[in-house]
Structure 1
């Protein structure tokens, strides 16, 4: 006797006598284990059963999701379940997706139960297709198509292939705002990231529709009204219409402005563990002012910070507005300070290379001390200034079981601190320029810097080895060493005719003045040997005739620096200033001094770290004293090249030398005065996600080199600063922080070239960017 499952289900409405099961069998299992199947069925040998129990067993088997068909029948007092299992997903492939990462799509499919090794349920395919299209619709890709193919595989498996046509992003043709009276459409649309399609702009995607962006725009619109006193503002509705070709979007925003509110009275509520005067100094509102949510948020943050500096880290500040009938509002700042808290432990994570001690010595917040907001933030900024980390996150975590203790968790994201630097180029003045260097700003994770740099042109070779320890002592006194050797072979360039060898070593110590300022002192001992050729320039030959060919100099140096740059190799905010004075003392053969000023600053234009403005300037001045009348020609400043005024060849600007033979070609000899400056507009590069490692900038460079000492026979030389000789260039810079070293390209246009100037439209460096 055989009874299929339909008959069994029909029997469930009839009271049937219980029968005894001599055995239970399940046929057709491949994926589900027999133990699991018998566990679901629940029948055992010798146990009685009836139609209701059979119905429940079949129901549970179907509910497991493993089976597409189940037959139940009785044969010789045995209860037999013939099952047909659903296939297992053997392969899952996604093709055609560029806009949304495959990993992100797979995570969404995983949540829906569609992944390799899972049971295949055909009913979920429509849901998956709809969900994928929904994701693309949210990004403005209304023409996106999703096709899902299912192919059978051996051993009851299937291969699922998802083919995606992402289509094109729909453009916002028109944004219509309805209901605005106090502000015109242009003013309100300026609050949006979205914009109507206009002239072609390859650097903007503002006219591309995206649902999250529109939602953000609506929140920005609400904030704008609340910041201007419209407490009763309401978004009535927002609609998005799509054209039949799915390429154009029309956005309609309906709003109710209400009336503006003005501040009537301001009071404090709650409990204050500090004097009220310290709180009131942060409240810059007065009766009659327009209500502003932005201003109130800033005030609440300032009050929280004020109490946080006294250890009340978990202070809650709430604003209680009381609207009045005359469209004024009473404001109450309600303060709940909570207990003072102390730091139990400071934990570091993410520093896979940098030692804990390097981070810990930057902390101004200590374990066991009262936790203060300003010290915690100062500690975070000090770690960021190291330049070893792409991201620094510092959070307080309450200690379980206590109310007055927190742990400080510092999480960092290491970024490359070592580099192999290289540069290559060609100029008419220097010929082939090749540079190479190995540096490690975080040597062995100690925070110390070790660097070896080598550069070579047709005329010069430079070798430098340096080591710097920022914490020679525990209180932050630094010590650095450097060795250098420079060989200049000018008798091969048909311009100058001398050889210059420089060999020296130096040591310096730095003393911290505060968190950002440092005063440094050092001494350098240097030997210089000059060998004149058969036809040197008048400037070089006269200096050698007067002062000799070999010099042993003792150079004292002192410098002051103030640096608060944040962002590592590519800073995003802050400033850096440095003033240096080098004096060749009378203990050596020459007496001269050089004064240098370097300064740069960044301004964030929209709080995104993507649009930045940068100013950089460099000043240099040197001259001889005592028995040395002028600055030695080999200590002159030079300008031009990728690190000063881009577009001009390296070290090609400034005064030129002279020869007794007027037919000899002249070249830049440098000067004792240097003026250079740079302005940059840094903007995000389209289609680039990692803006921490890629930077694009429009630049304007200006500057030149001048001299106070012209040789008597040099008819082209002009003494002093002549602002008419300032050179200008502008162009585009692109920098990429590769795993090896910074890679930088410059496309520069010289704005005011003059006769004799050597220019390079394209310049390339692999190495240091500043």
Structure 2
């Protein structure tokens, strides 16, 4: 063996041992000047990537220490399965073996998860198409899959990884999954409770041992995150009832050998119940101590309530914020008297420094344009920080209805102690909706309605809507468009084009029609943050098409004033909305007034309608809802009130239990023709659905309705009002809020048409 071959092999062995032992192994290799560097074995990796990782260049002096560093650097790239350095005279040869790349990742046997969810989890650990593959990466991916299934209580899930080599040094990775049955909670025990029964405390939990609705709520599936949330709920329950020193000593979760049953045990110490002996305020309150004291909600003599204390601290900070003190601190200190089981509260405040907002940042709006959100802001950049305006801005953005979550936070500006940035974080939701409605009756059998709405068309904040009603007796086609910021001052513009064909209900049928077609234009002018006044006009053309069984009232009106009536009515309206949610409100009030004045055209009349809604939270999960609606119309200038402008009552949105639109005066033919006056009052009590736990999207409600419709010459007479009671189901379904109601009329009269079962998707009352 010649000396050159010995040197060649010694240097390669030196580099390999340097990597294995991660230390500088000194071999008697003479340093030499590198005349050239060659790379062998590359397939997909660019040579520049290798050259950039080498600690030496052509012309540098090479030694074994540099060789060890080069091998470590190349392995650190994660691209190579093997790396060797060899020399050929004064030429350095870098020999690499690339790792295979992932061509495809597949999942077999997965039912609990959508494959896109699993692929995202794999991307998070680095296993995805086009990335280098190694066994350690596959092991991490397998453990991540098992973790995902454990989070779904599938503790018995098994994952087998299969790696299939294919051409061009690529591999297909397949995870074969056997999910098994989910582990279900068989027992939840609370040890140490004396003041409250176990059933009372377990009733606070999201987790339970299962019920007839567990297939929907999955409340009997163990989740560490849900258990932690339940523990916090338990702690809050005790702390809000005076148990200041309550604590959870330990949490034990035991799983059966077959991994299908889980037992949870909570060991708690309640401590003594403390009563507030007094409240003091200390610190700097900007000379407004009395104003701050008026914000204190907890009183001496009451049990200590951590929720009220937290609420008071927040109210103090918010009030400081309204004066520009964004960095104010308020600390609630407790002075405990264990002898008498009393606690004194000291609210220590430091307003710190006043600040102004440097920048308002928005994150999370991938679809909605920035300007749609920013125009709702009342806190402006480069102005003093105002906590009230920031809260109002957040509420206005939330009321747009475009986002699942809206959060706002302030961030310090490094190097500028008197500045803050306001960060608004939103999570978008689909703003298009399909609404369906149906009703059952002996005459119409099944009537359907359909609407397609886009509340945030193309992210512009504009509304587009299309509605169709296919009822046998009432057919409607309406196209609507609303621009909420037609002007920069917030004046909105709404435009409607409509076609309505109406045939009031009668047992004999008939082929007559009352056809209204036209268009309307109205503008909304905001007069305050919660009040908007609407002005508009419309062009109406109503035609009475005679036919069999036409109501005598329609025929008499047509013979006197003509079969076609063209009008240009003016509209004025007002609304105020301070509900906490438009989808599932639990508190707040909504009011709306609309009026229509017909002075130009073939009919002279005035028509007005007022609606009032109130939502009152009675407890965490119980809400009382009230709705009242009143309508009035009359003719002007000696003309009668036009019959085609009549109000109708009965059914959804009115008095449930009666056929839609059948209340009020009737023609001599027996047809329901509506009237010029109406009222309806609805009261509802919403409660949790049995077995659904604290799920607010699925609730039961009981209701009572009363109302009627009156003719132009009739007086409001409560003795002839119709009334009903019933129960219903409220569910915020994937296609919109669904309400199913079964009503039993409790005040009805001969000839009334009853419709006990009704449902609609996309309605409120």
- The TM-score with structure 2 as length reference comes to 0.77
Structure 2 residue aligned with 1:577: 591
Query: Quick one: structure 1 residues 171 and 522, their matched pair in 2 at CA, closer, same or farther if it must change by over 3 Å?
Result: same
Q: CA RMSD in A?
A: 5.3
1:657 equivalenced with 2:671 (yes/no): no
How much does 1:286 deviate? 4.6
1:668 equivalenced with 2:672 (yes/no): yes
Contact 1:622 1:673 in 2 (8 A): no
Counterpart-to-counterpart distance in 2, 1:354 and 1:203: 32
Counterpart-to-counterpart distance in 1, 2:237 and 2:625: 29
1:757 equivalenced with 2:750 (yes/no): no
1:376 equivalenced with 2:379 (yes/no): no
Residue of structure 2 aligned with 1:244, choices 229, 250, 257 = 257
Residue of structure 1 aligned with 2:629, choices 603, 613, 618 = 618
1:279 equivalenced with 2:283 (yes/no): no
- Deviation sequence 1:162-206 (CA, Å, 0-9, x none): 222233322211222223333332333233222234556544332
Counterpart-to-counterpart distance in 1, 2:380 and 2:489: 15
Counterpart-to-counterpart distance in 2, 1:505 and 1:108: 52
Contact 1:431 1:457 in 2 (8 A): no
Contact 1:262 1:329 in 2 (8 A): yes
Contact 2:183 2:262 in 1 (8 A): yes
Structure 1 residue aligned with 2:306: 293
Query: Quick one: structure 1 residues 148 and 46, their matched pair in 2 at CA, closer, same or farther if it must change by over 3 Å?
Result: same
1:517 equivalenced with 2:531 (yes/no): yes
Residue of structure 1 aligned with 2:647, choices 606, 628, 637 = 637
Look up the SS of the partner of 2:353 in the other structure: coil
Query: Quick one: structure 1 residues 277 and 414, their matched pair in 2 at CA, closer, same or farther if it must change by over 3 Å?
Result: same
Counterpart-to-counterpart distance in 1, 2:425 and 2:738: 33
Look up the SS of the partner of 2:610 in the other structure: strand
Structure 2 residue aligned with 1:340: 354
Structure 1 residue aligned with 2:417: 403
How much does 1:253 deviate? 1.7
How much does 1:624 deviate? 5.7
Contact 2:432 2:455 in 1 (8 A): yes
Query: Quick one: structure 1 residues 289 and 464, their matched pair in 2 at CA, closer, same or farther if it must change by over 3 Å?
Result: closer
How much does 1:756 deviate? 6.3
Look up the SS of the partner of 2:416 in the other structure: coil
Look up the SS of the partner of 1:726 in the other structure: strand
1:137 equivalenced with 2:153 (yes/no): no
Which region of structure 1 is more displaced relative to structure 2, 461-470 or 83-92?
A: 461-470
Look up the SS of the partner of 1:658 in the other structure: coil
Contact 1:88 1:157 in 2 (8 A): yes
Q: Mapping of 1:103-502 within 5 angstroms? A: 105-106=118-119, 108-110=121-123, 112-123=125-136, 125-198=138-211, 201-324=214-337, 326=339, 327-346=341-360, 359-387=373-401, 391-410=405-424, 495=509, 500=514
How much does 1:280 deviate? 2.0
Counterpart-to-counterpart distance in 1, 2:368 and 2:144: 44
Counterpart-to-counterpart distance in 1, 2:201 and 2:663: 50
1:707 equivalenced with 2:719 (yes/no): no
Counterpart-to-counterpart distance in 1, 2:255 and 2:241: 33
Structure 2 residue aligned with 1:662: none
Look up the SS of the partner of 1:751 in the other structure: strand
How much does 1:340 deviate? 1.6
Contact 1:173 1:248 in 2 (8 A): yes
Query: Quick one: structure 1 residues 684 and 161, their matched pair in 2 at CA, closer, same or farther if it must change by over 3 Å?
Result: farther
Counterpart-to-counterpart distance in 2, 1:43 and 1:445: 54
Structure 2 residue aligned with 1:726: 723
How much does 1:317 deviate? 1.6
Query: Quick one: structure 1 residues 509 and 73, their matched pair in 2 at CA, closer, same or farther if it must change by over 3 Å?
Result: closer
Query: Quick one: structure 1 residues 21 and 323, their matched pair in 2 at CA, closer, same or farther if it must change by over 3 Å?
Result: same
Counterpart-to-counterpart distance in 2, 1:78 and 1:300: 74
Query: Quick one: structure 1 residues 547 and 41, their matched pair in 2 at CA, closer, same or farther if it must change by over 3 Å?
Result: closer
How much does 1:312 deviate? 0.8
Query: Quick one: structure 1 residues 453 and 32, their matched pair in 2 at CA, closer, same or farther if it must change by over 3 Å?
Result: closer
Counterpart-to-counterpart distance in 1, 2:121 and 2:89: 49
Contact 1:345 1:407 in 2 (8 A): yes
How much does 1:303 deviate? 0.5
- Deviation sequence 1:110-134 (CA, Å, 0-9, x none): 5555444444433454454444334
Counterpart-to-counterpart distance in 2, 1:590 and 1:486: 18
How much does 1:307 deviate? 0.6
- Deviation sequence 1:318-346 (CA, Å, 0-9, x none): 22334455354443322222222223454
Counterpart-to-counterpart distance in 2, 1:751 and 1:286: 47
How much does 1:310 deviate? 0.6
- Deviation sequence 1:696-724 (CA, Å, 0-9, x none): 8767574553435799xxxxxx9944467
- Deviation sequence 1:647-680 (CA, Å, 0-9, x none): 7554244444324xxxxxx332324434253647
- Deviation sequence 1:3-31 (CA, Å, 0-9, x none): 69889869999986444679998876657
Contact 1:490 1:497 in 2 (8 A): no
Structure 2 unaligned segments of length 5 or more: list them.
none
Query: Quick one: structure 1 residues 193 and 606, their matched pair in 2 at CA, closer, same or farther if it must change by over 3 Å?
Result: farther
How much does 1:514 deviate? 2.8
Which region of structure 1 is more displaced relative to structure 2, 517-526 or 140-149?
A: 517-526
Query: Quick one: structure 1 residues 604 and 96, their matched pair in 2 at CA, closer, same or farther if it must change by over 3 Å?
Result: farther
- Deviation sequence 1:248-278 (CA, Å, 0-9, x none): 1111222333334444554334433342222
Which region of structure 1 is more displaced relative to structure 2, 366-375 or 413-422?
A: 413-422
Which region of structure 1 is more displaced relative to structure 2, 668-677 or 18-27?
A: 18-27
Structure 1 unaligned segments of length 5 or more: list them.
660-665, 712-717
